[in-house]
Amino acid sequence: MAFLSVRPYYCQNWHLIPIGLKTNTPLNTAARSPGSCPSIFITESIMEHVARVVNLDPTEVRRVNLYQQGQLTPYKQSLLYCNITNLLTELETMAEVTQRKTSIAAFNQNNRWRKKGLSVVPLKFALAWEGAHYNCLVDIYMGDGSVVIDHGGIECGQGVNTKTIQVCAYKLGIPVDMIRVVANNTVVNANSITTGGSITSEICCLGIIKCCDKLLARIAPVRAKMSNPKWKDLIKQCGLDGIDLTARYQTSPTVPKGDVINYFSYGVTCSEVELDILTGQYQISRVDLLYDCGESLNPEIDIGQVEGAFVMGLGYWLTEELKNDPATGALLTNSTWEYKPPLCKDIPIDFRVHLLKNAPNPVGILRSKASGEPPLCMSCSALFALRHAAEAARAEIGQNTFFPLSAPATVEKINTACLLKPDQMILTA
């Protein structure tokens, strides 16, 4: 499903046959965007290969194959909202892609041992709510009108607590400092599903909205009898009148009838790198990222999610290499001495993240879209930029042919791909 639901390209004759395999290595634990990352890499590698064979710019090959509004996905779901082509055009203008490609070509022409590469990669990412059960509860205390939220999601840095507080404040019309989230538990939040899939924040917000709707309906008759009451006075009177100020709601959202996906998120990334041909070491000079987050529930949180996901993806594509014993399957890179997650020198020097403006999601929670996993997949653009830099090095020695560069593209693999030999290292006058 991941391969078909995340690719941004329309193709009527996809024919995929999955094959199950057994290995002697342990099963990997699902992390951020499992399945989608390799699926997107496979698709984008195909586009790169096609561009090389037909001798076209990879961005142009991607552009002419992008989905258009109204086209059907492989699941026969019509894309009623599809803005990927517009995002690509906007990102190219914003990031000055054409000018930078010209500058990079000149740099590569004038430098033998350092090369630059640039890659633009679009994204279409499917979000589905089917089976997203989260047990949510909202309590209003009659003494001071303060509110407690207890939702079924797990706060793990994605901002679900902040977003639910904001949504609750918006629905009840009170300041956010009157609301707090307490730790969830299996008594109040029984039967909640796992936190993941990028949907927990928005579905928990849906649960809080439903709870607030119940509470507002109970409060309305009391409010009608009072003359423009303050919140504290209104809640105190509700308590005196015996109004139940606790509401619970278990979410059970489904996809639209006949569809598989609730909505798609779109994005485009431009990554530029500079590569040292002699060592294989590199720097990610600049990244421009434009992401469709709908009408963001909290832009600061969502931009942080985009940045964090992208950097996590850089580790997946470039540094975090798993090595197993060929005989036993035992993991050999089982510590930070051998396993290298991205650190401060691995992130882009110039990192520009933008959320698409004026793009409300009509089927989202308060017109929003998810931000947790899709941007991770967009970071494969850095790997393709490195491959383009290596291509420039190979072209200089007459080896201008297509070559694969698999993830993780470690320093050793990149250096090997440049086909550097001792007899090339000659000083000329």
Residue 74 resides in a domain: yes
* 363 alpha-carbon distance from chain centroid: 19
Residue 255 resides in a domain: no
Indicate the SS3 state at residue 228: coil
Q: Is the pLDDT of residue 24 over 70?
A: yes
Nearest to 264 by CA among 381, 378, 367, 369: 369
Q: Is the domain of 51 the same as that of 144?
A: no
Q: Return d(Cα 218, Cα 31) in angstroms, integer.
A: 42
AA letter at 283: Q
Indicate the SS3 state at residue 108: helix
Q: Residue 237: enclosing H or E segment and its boundaries?
A: helix 231-240
pLDDT digits (tens, 9 = 90+) for 372-425: 999 999 999 999 999 999 999 999 999 988 898 989 999 999 999 999 888 888
Find which of 13-27, 68-82, 179-193, 284-298 is predicted with most confidence, using mean pLDDT.
284-298
Structure tokens, 198: 């990028």
The residues with which 72 forms a beta bridge, in sequence order, are: 78
φ, ψ for residue 29, nearest 5 deg: -80, 135
Q: Is the pLDDT of residue 4 over 60?
A: no
**What integer pLDDT is reported at residue 22 of this predicted model?**
86
Residue 23 resides in a domain: no
State how many domains the chain has: 2
**What integer pLDDT is reported at residue 3 of this predicted model?**
52
Q: Is the domain of 7 the same as that of 119?
A: yes
AA letter at 393: A
φ, ψ for residue 149, nearest 5 deg: -110, 135
φ, ψ for residue 87, nearest 5 deg: -65, -40
Contacts (Cβ under 8 Å, ≥6 apart) of 196 = 30
Helix %, strand %, coil % for the chain, to 5? 40, 15, 45
Angle at 295 between CA 298 and CA 207, to 5 degrees: 70
pLDDT digits (tens, 9 = 90+) for 30-43: 888 888 888 899 99
373 is catalytic: yes
CATH number for the domain that contains residue 222: 3.30.365.10
Q: Is the domain of 110 the same as that of 6?
A: yes
Q: Which of these is catalytic: 44, 202, 272, 373?
A: 373
Q: Is the domain of 227 the same as that of 268?
A: no
Q: Is the domain of 245 the same as that of 384?
A: no
Instruction: Rounding to the nearest 10 degrees, give the CA dihedral for residues 19, 21, 26, 31.
Output: -10
Structure tokens, 127: 């979000």
**What integer pLDDT is reported at residue 303 of this predicted model?**
97
Contacts (Cβ under 8 Å, ≥6 apart) of 11 = 65
Structure tokens, 204: 């928990």
Share of the chain above pLDDT 90, in %: 78
Q: How does the average pLDDT of the chain come out, rounded?
A: 93
Residue that is last in its domain, among 195, 230, 250: 250
Contacts (Cβ under 8 Å, ≥6 apart) of 219 = 234, 235, 238, 243
Residue 24 resides in a domain: no
Domain that holds residue 204: 135-250
Residue 176 resides in a domain: yes
Beta carbons within 10 angstroms of residue 166's beta carbon: 19
Q: Is the domain of 231 the same as that of 328?
A: no
Average pLDDT over residues 113-119: 97
State the pLDDT confidence band at 336, using cuts at 50, 70 and 90. confident
Q: Which residue has the tokens 């006949």?
A: 258
pLDDT top residue among 409 and 3: 409
Average pLDDT over residues 266-287: 97
Q: Is the pLDDT of residue 140 over 90?
A: yes
**What integer pLDDT is reported at residue 35 of this predicted model?**
85
Q: Return d(Cα 59, Cα 121) in angstroms, integer.
A: 8
Q: Is the pLDDT of residue 286 over 80?
A: yes
Q: Is the domain of 205 the same as that of 335?
A: no
Q: Is the pLDDT of residue 247 over 90?
A: yes
Q: Return d(Cα 173, Cα 5) in angstroms, integer.
A: 39
136, 211 contact by CB (below 8 A): yes
Q: How many CA atoms lie within 13 A of 193 on its CB side?
A: 17
Could you tell me the pTM of the whole model?
0.93
Residue that is last in its domain, among 191, 225, 250: 250
Q: Return d(Cα 424, Cα 227) in angstroms, integer.
A: 87
